Amino acid sequence: MIPERVNAEAENLRKLIRYHNGIYYAEDRSEISDGEYDALMLRLIELESQWPELSTEDSPTHRVGSQPLSHFPSILWDPPMLSLDNVFSAEEFGEFDRRIRHELQLEEDIVYSVEPKLDGLAVALIYRNGVLLRAGTRGDGSDGEDVTPNVRTLRSIPLKLSSNLSGDLIVRGEVIFSKDDFHKMNRERKSRGLPSFVNPRNAASGSLRQLDSRITASRPLCFIAYGTARWPAGITSQHSLFDFLGRLGIPVNPYNSVCRGVDEVENAYHRLEENRDAMPWEIDGVVIKLNGASLQTRMGTLSRFPRWAAAWKFKAEEAVTRLIDIELQVGRTGKLTPVAKLEPVFVGGVTVSSATLHNEDELRRKDARPGDTVIVRRAGDVIPEVARSLGRSDGERGKRFEFPLNCPVCGGPVAREEDASAHRCMNPSCPAKLRESLFHWGARDALDIEGLGTILAEQLADKDLVGDVSDLYTLTLPQLAALDRMGEKSAGNLLSELEKSLSTSLQRFITGLGIPGIGRTVSGLLSGRFSDLHELMDAGVDEFLAAPGIGPVLADNLYRFFHEKITRGVVDRLLNVGFNPQGRGDDDECRPLLGLTLVFTGGISIPRSEARIMAEKAGAKVTGSVSKNTDIVVAGPRAGDKLQKALDLGLEIISEDEFLNRIR
């Protein structure tokens, strides 16, 4: 039994630590030194180690991180976390204001909430009875990633609110780095010989989405709230909502303001633009919302945007220079990006000598060629890009850049995705994408190899233990046990998982290869068409076209993958280690949703990711939005705009029970 004095000391320590976290992150002030704060935390850790029963879910000691996850579970957002529509000028904002006044029949000037647009990762926090229960990323708006263990490590997020609330409160905001913390972190990484992060936004996204929450805990992320999923009782405006969240200990942006009418909003926009360099965080514009809760409700939402808010981004800084050459970079997913090599030019506070040209379509649209004079800007004030070409003063033009058929890194075939502008290397063993290929091979939708996560994939590639996907099957127990965070037990478990994966289905095998445009749905269609991998590899373009859902681009990509030497060699090596996946496991009678497009909306009892897999096994294509091409909408409780759109389009709407009955 825990002595009363120990209970009392632990509770007092928790209250003190929460208090000092609150004033530091929500009020930007401190009353004790870092050393004094650390002493409080160390004493609480000491007590909880001595008396494990003292530890509670909301204890500040839980911010150190926990064991790595194999994947992020899904988290369902209802109502969805929508994007924002954009305005690009004072004239467009004036039109936004006129539309609202017309629809709401308002004569007087509208009161708006004007908020700096933070450039981070959108996250929602679910509090139940005042205690942090779950947290997740925005994802596609309806289905995000559950990153609760990582969010618990952020000291700016209270694990327990300062007021005893009953019921659920869903707080939405951005996870970001402050400028000072970002630069300090990069200096420390450089001193340890580690690569620097390119910009705060990407660093924040990557840091929060680590499968090992201990990595997240080591990085100085912070959270700034911008709203809630539903209006709390008694809150009638955006301004009063921020006051309410601040009283709970949740950080809000101190630079938010309330403006009446178009002129005040425009003045606030220009003030923030002029003072952005002095801001503690990177901002790339302002978010403008109707301040009144009742007005927001009356305006409602579209399928993707709220009709009561808009983002007004700052203009990017531009400069003129000369384009020397165009080179290709191969990213971790195999994407080929054309990069302009420039005469160095100062723009947006930094000297720029390289700038992205994005993809083939953008390159053609801008018609940028070596030797041209070009305008360069920093897109979102982070990534330099070529905005447009001014040609050459002498009228002469260099040759147009042509995308290669083979990867500049490994020589493997390059394919352009169907209905997309990206070119990708198709070779799973390309050194530029090997880490990602290994992780993808073991993912749940592919071979589903438990333990083969991002951290292990990086170690295997970085230590040259694996140079090809097939090399996974030649790894030994001593090799794996010697890796960080492994040991003999984990190594043995992974070897068992790898052995088990040798008997995988044709659908999972094809998905694991990562052929551009060939995900689990198309792989399922192929596995129902071909009897085994050998028949698939020997098929011609016409035979691929005969499979449902396969168009000319995908058919050509498949044919090239299985007939070009480098990628065919990857498959041959996998066959040599023991794979022999079989197809045609499901005939059309066992795939009752074959060829149908299906959308889930509202709450359903089974995890959304599992429901998707069940639907795809039954032959359906699952999408995230309702359109005229949708065949079936599975609607659960609290279904919102998607259900209404389905009703408007006259689509077939079924319940979860009806869906389960159909696929049995």
* Residue 571 and residue 469 in contact, taking contact as beta carbons nearer than 8 Å: no
* Residue 256 and residue 242 in contact, taking contact as beta carbons nearer than 8 Å: yes
434 membership: H or E segment, kind and range: helix 434-441
Maximum pairwise Cα distance, the chain:
88
* Residue 530 and residue 584 in contact, taking contact as beta carbons nearer than 8 Å: yes
User: Which of 523, 501, 530 has its CA nearest to residue 441?
Assistant: 501
Angle of the 552-563 helix axis to the 565-576 helix axis, nearest 10:
70
Strand partners, 176: 222
* Residue 564 and residue 518 in contact, taking contact as beta carbons nearer than 8 Å: no
Kindly report the number of other CB atoms within 10 A of residue 324's CB atom: 14
Q: Rounded to the nearest 5 degrees, what angle is found at the Cα of 122, between the Cα atoms of 166 and 449?
A: 100
Residue 165 vs residues 31, 59, 161, 233: alpha-carbon distances, Å: 27, 18, 8, 11
Kindly give the pairing relationship between strand 423-425 and strand 373-379: unpaired
**CA 218 from centroid of its chain's CA atoms:** 20
Angle of the 200-208 helix axis to the 179-191 helix axis, nearest 10:
80
Residues 500 and 494: their CA atoms lie apart, in Å, by: 10
Kindly report the number of other CB atoms within 10 A of residue 662's CB atom: 16
Single out the catalytic residue among 117, 313, 433, 642. Answer: 117
User: Which of 369, 410, 407 has its CA nearest to residue 389?
Assistant: 369
**The pair of three-digit structure tokens given for residue 69, joined into one six-digit string:** 């996850």
Residues 663 and 642: their CA atoms lie apart, in Å, by: 22
Beta-strand (E) ranges in 357-503? Answer: 373-379, 383-389, 414-416, 423-425
**The pair of three-digit structure tokens given for residue 120, joined into one six-digit string:** 């981070």
Residues 547 and 331: their CA atoms lie apart, in Å, by: 31
* Residue 544 and residue 538 in contact, taking contact as beta carbons nearer than 8 Å: no
Specify whether the backbone of 334 is left (phi greater than 0), alpha (psi in -120 to 50) or beta.
left
Active site residue 117: yes
Beta-strand (E) ranges in 380-519? Answer: 383-389, 414-416, 423-425
* Residue 554 and residue 544 in contact, taking contact as beta carbons nearer than 8 Å: yes
125 membership: H or E segment, kind and range: strand 121-128
HSE-CB at 619 with a 13 A cutoff on CA atoms is: 22
* Residue 558 and residue 515 in contact, taking contact as beta carbons nearer than 8 Å: yes
- What's 485's DSSP letter? T
* Residue type for position 501: S
Residues 209 and 123: their CA atoms lie apart, in Å, by: 11
Task: List residues with catalytic annotation.
Answer: 117
